[in-house]
Amino acid sequence: MSKSGVFIAIMLLFSSAYAEEVDTGVISKETPWQGSVDFGGTYLQGNSDLLSFFGGLNAKRCFGESSLIFDIDGAYGRSDGIKDKEWISAKTQYNFDLPDMRFYGGFNTDFRNDDIADLNYRISVNPLLGMYLFRSERAKLTLESGPSYVWQMQGGVGDHFQALRFAEEFEYRLSSKSKFWQSVEYSPEVDDFANYQLVTEAGIRTWVSSAASIKAFVQDRYDSEPEGGRENSDMGVYFALSYGLKAPKDYDMKESRKALKKRAKEDWHFVGTLSASRLSGNKDSNGLSSSIDGMRCSNGTETGLGIFGSYADTNGTITAEQAGGYTFYNYDLKKDRSYFGSRLDYLHNPVADLEYRFSFGPHVGYRLIDGCDTRLRIETGPGATFESQGGIRGSYANIRMGEYLDHHFAPCVKLFQSFEYTGSPDEIEDYQLVSKAGFETKFGENWSWQNSVAHNYDNLPAAGLKQGDLSVNSGLKFSF
């Protein structure tokens, strides 16, 4: 079994055991143990193939004036069959408060394996002295320093040496539902300060329930003298769903419920989304997707428009690239549950060899559910499509059917799902299916976190292309 497979097995084992403890009440507010299991990833399949995941297990136990911390995490990624990351890291640390409560002593051990950097292992043992520069319910800043001894094997070359370790860690509560953290760890060799390791990290965690949270962070590991002419820096951006770490005590899921069905009277309301990933160093990978959607409701009418785009590359090879837009107009009929309208869509996707595709036509719709917490509607109508794919231009009539659902589990958590069918009335095998689902977590008045999965299926793709494209995305959403 590969090291990534072993890591997944360990994560599943620990998560199963942890879930069992939670179910049986072993981990509760009274127990000295705290912990969480994290997992996140990105998956694209079809004309571009990408697999990336991150996982972690964190546990902490307090013994009066001392504490024991254990962390293990790792990441794995492939893009178009080329592995671009595979690392595992583990750390244990024991801290005990000194008579002056501003200071603490401790002992830290660290292990890391990184196949892309050809690092078989790096193990360090670090006694430490720490200081709380400040510590409150909202913010905490600590500094640590101490001697270190390092054993490592990189590029087939073994080494061991004495080093120093300096670390800084900062946490700040942004709100009752989210916090920011940042850390820096610097470890130079005692006999050669030009040979050092520098690890920096920063991220945001947002709670969606009392025990579940979403976190996003960027991490950079810098080696001043890497073996074998490799890059100095390896940077990654990671997103993960976390379960187990309790939300802050003043977290309140019973916030005053405002009307969730908001209809702008005469003004436009715009929402933007942005997700990005960056991996640099021995492998370079970039990903970016964004969209802007606008809506205006007035006197029984709805007007909407939007644009979107995405891009991804690995080592200079483009693996995803698309852009598009839409606009629609709906007019309520005598009963406001039914409506009549028209829609125009545009899509450009060079990876799928699609130069352009325009679709437009009228439709009728019906709101099956139109409540504050849940909205479900369906619509259908004839249309026409003009496209150029694989160097072949064509136009044809079509029929479009769609289903759209929004459901609020709580004032700050929403599920969304949609399904669209577009097919030719003359050729039953010529059709496209677009399905999407995800959830959105609000952590500010105008800010939220969105995770979604989308699948685009073309039953008769251009020659040499695959029928399906599957993507998983995570990113920020903001309104203005």
Q: What does the mean pLDDT of the chain come to?
A: 79
DSSP 12: H
Classify 166 as helix, strand or coil.
Answer: strand
H or E segment to which residue 17 belongs: helix 3-23
CATH class of 269-479: mainly beta
Taken in order 56, 61, 62, 67, is the CA torsion positive or negative? Answer: negative
Of 46-55, 120-129, 390-399, 420-429, the range with the lowest mean pLDDT is: 46-55
- The Cα–Cα gap between 307 and 294 comes to 9
The predicted pLDDT at position 9 comes to: 42
Q: What does the alpha-carbon distance between residue 33 and residue 470 come to, in Å, rounded to a whole number?
A: 39
Structure-token pair, residue 1: 């079994």
CB 111 within 8 A of CB 29: no
Q: Where are the domains of the chain?
A: 3-243, 269-479
Is the per-residue pLDDT at 280 higher than 70? no
The stretch 257-274 carries a mean pLDDT of: 58
Give the span between the Cα atoms of 116 and 84, in whole angstroms: 7
pLDDT at position 286 is: 74
Residue scoring higher pLDDT (321 or 419): 419
Q: How far apart are CA 83 and CA 462, in angstroms?
A: 28
Distant-in-sequence, close-in-space partners of 447: CB < 8 Å, separation ≥ 6 = 476, 477, 478
Counting Cα atoms < 13 Å in the Cβ hemisphere of 177 gives: 22
The more confidently predicted of residues 11 and 268 is: 268
Task: Please give the average per-residue pLDDT across 345-360, as a whole number.
Answer: 87
Residue 14's pLDDT is 39
CA distance 157 to 16: 38
Say which range, 139-143, 322-326, 335-339, 397-401, has the weakest mean pLDDT.
335-339
Residue 106 has pLDDT above 90, yes or no: yes
Taking CA 437 as the corner, what is the angle to CA 435 and CA 443, rounded to the nearest 5 degrees?
Answer: 150
- Other CB atoms within 10 Å distance of the CB of residue 180: 15
The pLDDT of residue 261: 35
Closest by CA position to 10, among listed 95, 78, 76, 77: 76
Where b means 16+ CB within 10 Å and e means fewer, 91-104 reads bebbbebeeeeeeb
Instruction: Check residue 229 and give its pLDDT.
Output: 67
CATH class of 3-243: mainly beta
**pLDDT surpassing 50 at residue 98:** yes
Q: Please, which pLDDT band fits residue 255 given cuts at 50, 70 and 90?
A: very low
Smallest Cα–Cα separation from 417: which of 374, 479, 364, 468? 374
Q: Do domains 3-243 and 269-479 have the same CATH topology?
A: no
Give residue-wise pLDDT tens across range 436-447: 888 887 766 777
- pLDDT higher than threshold 70 for residue 479: yes
Q: Give the dihedral sign, CA 9/12/15/16.
A: negative
pLDDT at 31: 53
